[in-house]
């Protein structure tokens, strides 16, 4: 088997250069280069239902990359669980819900990283890394492997765990809420587990086993939010730690991914629009890595492996057809990327009266209604969005009456090709229980409808996202969901660009706004190349320092640049003192300018005018976001209720069921 693998790897070295030449000459059409260079390729077409079964879940790495940086979660192939029928999934959901309802509500907590390997489950219990036998995972019978307090960090937690192939070692990445810096600890598994080593500033990491049955840990080192260096280390009697790759282009970053069969380690080098993958033989990790395809501007691809075949997921090719090429061992396979991103969950398609003839996806449970509006057919709305149909997701109680008089909280993001997060948060649940409508606007710039959806909302098309947001809110009002005086808008990080721009261009749609770690001074930030992420994000926002077109376009929508004397909605901003991704200086400058302009407008308007409240809440410490800060959550809810003149007594009583005050 090992000899067969070496032959495969050797064949790969000779076949890959042909792929590169073909991609350049054939205008990046995977059908052309496949037909021209490989006469053994078999082309298969899969129905969308086949795609649905393989939709990936979010990896640990993706969950913990804050949102103003690029997240690999849209692209990384990750380990999946067997797909179950919808009825079985609902049964499992009912069991979880019943379990939550029988335990004291105040014990609610976020579960950290967990991984199964061999016959054990590895996870965090209290302040310790522990493991227990798989069948005893729900009991308190576990083995303590490492006490996180040894690192002398403030409230440390584990956000990623990797176990060596033969379970001789386990590695865990540990960080705190107020810092993005992560420490990777390596624990030797024995009768008395002991920490073998620790490495600072680690981003991604994976284990492989070499031909001498020695465990090798590959990891990337992050400096100033930039991940450019790759190391490999061994432990025990043959300790060594060496850097073997450094990315020279500051606009690219590196992350590691182990193929699902653990056969190859892929070294992924990419920026927002371009990627390059090197393959490391899992059986010979000390050999030089093999380049799959050198970077070509605009070409993104990822590599998987199964049964001596490589599969390449790429944006090369036509976006209207899903194609899977199974090939000989020395030939990569190609899947169309756009349809990969438009896969939908197994939910029932129906028509609801409230949307007339609009097609929606919905999941009804208890007294909650989940509605995903796939298309809005109103001609006046289509014209506002340049003829594009923009998805929205709406939550409200099914027994709500007169929705036009209900408060509305709109969520938006629209950047980096990332989906708008709709994960469970206690404060969102209590708002719905208290009669609020929650609406999620999946505007261009995000990733919900594929790569083109992202491309249509970045660089000199960023205003498309603003047009989508305006049209979504106007459509909500037109369909009978709330009204401007009861409408609020919230966003995090890069979503602040669209919210700030809407406050400048169409403030009458809103009553109040909450922003967290918002990106508000796009122009000055993107002109400062000393900041950690500026060079990396030129592909998203443009280069105003060298391109006058980009500079003028950014000026046209930048929230800070376009503040003007007019009536604004009230604004509550939560910022973090040590935020490395969104400079605090830009947020402070925006707030001060907005306050001055609001005061100027109030003075010119005269007596009787009620000026909006502009609040900046700077949280001490912190990095880019502290998700479960009770102070932050309560401050934001208090602000929304006061601005809308609502009684907040019941909402805070309900919130206490979930959060420990």
- Active-site hit among 493, 550, 570, 572: 493
**Residue 200 and residue 220: Cα distance in Å, rounded?**
10
**Residue 383 and residue 377: Cα distance in Å, rounded?**
11
Give the SS3 label for residue 198: strand
- Burial profile 588-626: b = 16 or more Cβ within 10 angstroms, e = fewer: bebbebbbebbeebbeeeeeeeeebbbbbbebeebbbbb
State yes or no: is 182 an active-site residue. no
Neighbouring CB atoms inside 10 A of 651's CB total: 21
Neighbouring CB atoms inside 10 A of 91's CB total: 12
pLDDT at 86: 45
**Residue 296 and residue 320: Cα distance in Å, rounded?**
22
Q: Measured on CA atoms in the order 603, 605, 610, 613, is the torsion positive or negative?
A: negative
Residue 327 lies inside a defined structural domain of this protein: no
> Among 459, 626, 594, which residue's Cα sits nearest to residue 521?
594
3-state secondary structure 246-257: ECCCCCCEEEEE
pLDDT at 351: 27
Pairing of strands 301-306, 309-314: antiparallel
State yes or no: is 493 an active-site residue. yes
**Residue 445 and residue 457: Cα distance in Å, rounded?**
4
Residue 609 lies inside a defined structural domain of this protein: yes
Q: Measured on CA atoms in the order 493, 494, 497, 502, is the torsion positive or negative?
A: negative
pLDDT at 4: 45
**Residue 637 and residue 648: Cα distance in Å, rounded?**
8
**Residue 71 and residue 427: Cα distance in Å, rounded?**
25
**Residue 328 and residue 43: Cα distance in Å, rounded?**
12
CB 594 within 8 A of CB 567: no
Q: What is the CATH number of the domain that holds 486?
A: 3.40.50.1820
Phi then psi for 275, rounded to 5 degrees? -140, 160
**Residue 84 and residue 90: Cα distance in Å, rounded?**
10
pLDDT at 633: 87
pLDDT at 385: 54
Give the H or E element holding residue 6. Answer: helix 2-25
Residue 402 lies inside a defined structural domain of this protein: yes
CB 586 within 8 A of CB 560: yes
Q: Which domain holds residue 448?
A: 392-659
Spans of the chain, pLDDT less than 70: 1-112, 136-139, 317-385, 622, 625-628, 660-661
**Residue 53 and residue 444: Cα distance in Å, rounded?**
26
Residue 62 lies inside a defined structural domain of this protein: no
State CA 290 to chain mean position distance: 29
State yes or no: is 624 an active-site residue. yes
Q: What is the pTM of this model?
A: 0.72
Residue 621 lies inside a defined structural domain of this protein: yes
Retrieve residue 527's tokens.
């002109």
CA neighbours within 13 Å on the CB side: how many for 59? 22
pLDDT at 49: 24
19, burial (CB in 10 Å: exposed 0-12, middle 13-18, buried 19+):
buried
Angle at 56 between CA 184 and CA 12, to 5 degrees: 75
**Residue 88 and residue 359: Cα distance in Å, rounded?**
26
Give how far Cα 629 sits from Cα of 271, 577, 588, 622, Å: 32, 14, 21, 10
| DSSP sequence for 523-575 | HHHHT-TTSTTTGGGHHHH--TTT-HHHHHHHHHH-TTTT--SS---EEEEEE
**Residue 642 and residue 497: Cα distance in Å, rounded?**
25
Sheet holding 157-163, edge to edge: 157-163, 169-175, 183-188, 194-199
Neighbouring CB atoms inside 10 A of 378's CB total: 15
**Residue 456 and residue 460: Cα distance in Å, rounded?**
9
Residues with Cβ within 8 Å of residue 472, at least 6 apart in sequence: 390, 392, 410, 439, 441, 443
Give the SS3 label for residue 35: helix
* Domain total in the chain: 1
pLDDT at 196: 94
Give the SS3 label for residue 308: coil
Give how far Cα 628 sits from Cα of 158, 420, 427, 517, 658, Å: 15, 18, 10, 14, 11
**Residue 203 and residue 466: Cα distance in Å, rounded?**
33
């Amino acid at each position: 088997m090992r000899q067969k693998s070496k032959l495969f790897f050797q064949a790969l070295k000779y076949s890959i250069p042909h792929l590169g030449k073909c991609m350049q000459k054939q205008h990046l059409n995977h059908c052309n280069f496949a037909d021209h260079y490989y006469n053994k390729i078999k082309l298969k077409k899969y129905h969308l239902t086949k795609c649905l079964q393989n939709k990936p879940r979010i990896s640990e790495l993706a969950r913990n990359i804050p949102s103003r940086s690029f997240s690999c979660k849209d692209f990384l192939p990750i380990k999946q669980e067997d797909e179950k029928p919808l009825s079985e999934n609902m049964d499992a959901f009912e069991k979880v819900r019943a379990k939550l309802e029988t335990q004291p509500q105040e014990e609610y907590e976020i579960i950290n990283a967990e991984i199964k390997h061999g016959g054990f489950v590895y996870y965090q219990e209290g302040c310790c890394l522990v493991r227990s036998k798989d069948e005893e995972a729900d009991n308190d019978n576990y083995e303590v492997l490492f006490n996180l307090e040894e690192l002398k960090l403030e409230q440390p937690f584990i956000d990623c765990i990797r176990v060596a192939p033969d379970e001789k070692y386990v590695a865990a990445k540990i960080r705190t809420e107020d810092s993005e810096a992560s420490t990777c600890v390596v624990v030797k598994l024995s009768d008395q587990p002991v920490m073998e080593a620790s490495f600072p500033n680690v981003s991604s990491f994976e284990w492989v086993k070499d031909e001498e049955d020695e465990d090798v840990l590959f990891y990337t080192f992050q400096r100033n939010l930039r991940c450019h260096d790759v190391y490999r280390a061994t432990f025990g009697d043959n300790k060594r730690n060496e850097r073997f790759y450094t990315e020279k282009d500051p606009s690219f970053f590196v992350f590691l991914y182990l193929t699902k069969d653990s056969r190859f380690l892929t070294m992924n080098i990419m920026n927002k629009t371009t990627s390059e993958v090197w393959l490391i033989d899992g059986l010979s990790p000390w050999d030089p890595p093999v380049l799959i395809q050198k970077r070509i501007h605009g070409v993104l691809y990822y590599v998987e492996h199964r049964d001596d075949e490589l599969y390449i997921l790429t944006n090369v090719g036509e976006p209207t057809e899903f194609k899977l090429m199974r090939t000989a061992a020395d030939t990569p396979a190609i899947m169309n990327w756009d349809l990969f991103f438009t896969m939908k969950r197994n939910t029932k398609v129906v028509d609801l009266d409230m949307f007339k003839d609009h097609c929606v996806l919905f999941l009804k449970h208890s007294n909650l209604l989940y509605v995903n509006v796939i298309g809005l057919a109103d001609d006046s709305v289509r014209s506002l969005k340049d003829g594009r149909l923009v998805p929205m997701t709406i939550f409200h109680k099914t027994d709500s009456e007169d929705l036009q008089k209900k408060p509305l909280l709109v969520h938006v993001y629209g950047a980096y090709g990332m989906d708008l997060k709709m994960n469970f948060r206690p404060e969102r649940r209590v708002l719905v229980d208290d009669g609020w409508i929650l609406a999620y606007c999946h505007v261009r710039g995000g990733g919900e409808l594929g790569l083109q959806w992202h491309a249509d909302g970045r660089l000199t098309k960023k205003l498309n996202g603003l047009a989508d947001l305006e049209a979504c809110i106007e459509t909500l009002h037109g369909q009978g969901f709330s009204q401007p005086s009861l409408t609020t808008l919230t966003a995090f990080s890069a979503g602040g660009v669209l919210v700030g721009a809407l406050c400048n261009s169409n403030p009458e749609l809103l009553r109040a706004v909450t922003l967290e770690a918002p990106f508000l001074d796009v122009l000055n930030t993107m002109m400062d190349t000393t900041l950690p992420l500026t060079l990396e994000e030129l592909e998203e926002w443009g280069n105003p320092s060298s391109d006058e077109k980009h500079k003028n376009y950014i000026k046209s929508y930048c929230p800070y640049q376009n503040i003007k004397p007019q009536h604004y909605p009230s604004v509550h901003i939560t910022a973090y003192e040590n935020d490395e991704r969104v400079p605090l200086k830009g947020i402070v400058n925006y707030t001060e300018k907005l306050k001055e302009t609001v005061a100027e407008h109030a003075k010119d308007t005269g007596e009787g005018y009620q000026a909006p409240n502009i609040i900046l809440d700077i949280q001490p410490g912190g990095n880019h976001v502290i998700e479960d800060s009770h102070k932050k959550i309560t401050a934001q809810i208090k602000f929304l209720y006061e601005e809308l003149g609502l009684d907040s007594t019941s909402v805070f009583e309900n919130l206490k069921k979930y959060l420990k005050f």
